[in-house]
Structure 1
């Protein structure tokens, strides 16, 4: 049996990766800042040695848009090397090498750290999750109108499908940079907003807003998309139908 450590194992993605691996019969350790017995803040690394001791594979899902991912990755990589971990799987984002966003720049830096670590490694880049698009639209819908950046498309993907792919990669051995994983459809943001409004029974006017800056220009060019790798199956509408049909 393979022992696999999932960082960020209580988050939206990490929790599902953990579940998939356990269903497949793997021994899984969950690392997060509060989950016992492996409660570790990767930004300082305290307690990390015990968490990685005896681990064969690490699936690194922990991430924070507030910063510090590169610091956390440095601690994780050094601990993994000391423990003799054979395989590090990292989840990244389509466009991290093209879009001039601070969070993306750090994610690309972590990719390079993984590549240069001396460990066996696998990196999977995916498009944005349906869950993220839902959070954005839900937050915007708290206003009388829904302001959306004009001319931006999305190719969101189901988190459960990404978790399944990461679980496969974790047990398959180091594979380097694997093909990107995009959602099944490239959609205009207003289309997704209308689907959200139908699913939630809300009524809002959608207002396109033209923004400035290089990052916005990159989004308008579609540098966060991977239409040639539209391998996801679950559409945004199907995701919404499942999400909002759950008992309250």
Structure 2
């Protein structure tokens, strides 16, 4: 049995890592700044939950105690969390080293180092922290999640519009499939050579964004009109260049339509 510490164990991927690790018979510690209380949907029975903050280091020692590996699913989307995202990674790895943790695996985004968008640039900066850490580390770069597309469509649909980005294709992946890959890397036999390695994983299908919008409409019954819109700025350039796609690294996992069918009640 392996003791796994999941950083950000209450997020959409972190919860899946916790659930799958417990189902496989491993011991799991999960931490976040505000851990869920008993009865919360973010809590998975059998895991130990800790309050810890990588921006200050508070609580990390307790969360990492006895862990063999840490899986980092933390996000830093805005404000202090975004500004300190890479530094938080360094603080987590230093605490892991002090706790005797042998390996760390982080979740990232495909081609994040080729975008100037702040969120993506922060991911790339954190990848460099992992590369320099001296621990055995793996970066798992994944394509965008099914939930991102669904959220974009739902937000526009409130105004009777289902927006799609002109010239953009997507290769979305299920959070559960990303979690499976993270666990595979966390539990893989220790290799030789460079201590840091990067793996890329993409969803099972590459389609125009409009195709996914039509699938979403069919499941949700939305009456919004599909409208193609230009997307300026760094994100628009990233998408139009196809940097969100890794067709050579398709993963035979859950399709967008399959995820929609399973998630219909919560869309």
Q: By the TM > 0.5 criterion, same fold?
A: yes
Q: Is the 8 A contact 2:110 2:141 kept in 1?
A: yes
In structure 1, the partner of 2:42 is none
Q: Quick check: 1:9 aligned with 2:9?
A: yes
- Does the residue aligned with 2:114 lie in a helix, a strand or coil? coil
Cα distance, 1:178–1:113 mapped onto 2, change above 3 Å: closer
Alpha-carbon deviation of 1:136?
1.6
In structure 2, the partner of 1:132 is 148
Per-residue Cα deviation, 1:190-227 (whole angstroms, up to 9, x for no partner): 11111111100111111111233344122111011101
In structure 2, the partner of 1:22 is 22
- Does the residue aligned with 2:115 lie in a helix, a strand or coil? coil
- Does the residue aligned with 2:111 lie in a helix, a strand or coil? coil
In structure 2, the partner of 1:75 is 91
Q: Quick check: 1:242 aligned with 2:254?
A: no
- Does the residue aligned with 2:28 lie in a helix, a strand or coil? strand
Alpha-carbon deviation of 1:187?
1.1
In structure 1, the partner of 2:247 is 227
Return the alpha-carbon distance in structure 1 between the equivalents of residues 214 and 18 of structure 2.
Answer: 33
In structure 1, the partner of 2:186 is 170
Per-residue Cα deviation, 1:94-132 (whole angstroms, up to 9, x for no partner): 011212211111101100101100111111111001112
Return the alpha-carbon distance in structure 2 between the equivalents of residues 200 and 137 of structure 1.
Answer: 10
- Does the residue aligned with 1:65 lie in a helix, a strand or coil? coil
1:100 to 110, 116, 122: 116
Alpha-carbon deviation of 1:71?
2.5
1:217 to 205, 226, 237: 237
Return the alpha-carbon distance in structure 2 between the equivalents of residues 214 and 72 of structure 1.
Answer: 24
In structure 2, the partner of 1:200 is 220
- Does the residue aligned with 1:224 lie in a helix, a strand or coil? coil
Q: Mind listing any 5+ residue stretches in structure 1 that lack a counterpart?
A: none
Q: TM-score, normalised by structure 1?
A: 0.94
Per-residue Cα deviation, 1:112-161 (whole angstroms, up to 9, x for no partner): 10110011111111100111211121112111222332111110011111
Alpha-carbon deviation of 1:51?
1.4
Return the alpha-carbon distance in structure 2 between the equivalents of residues 9 and 17 of structure 1.
Answer: 7
Q: Mind listing any 5+ residue stretches in structure 2 that lack a counterpart?
A: 36-47
Number of residue pairs aligned between Structure 1 and Structure 2: 247
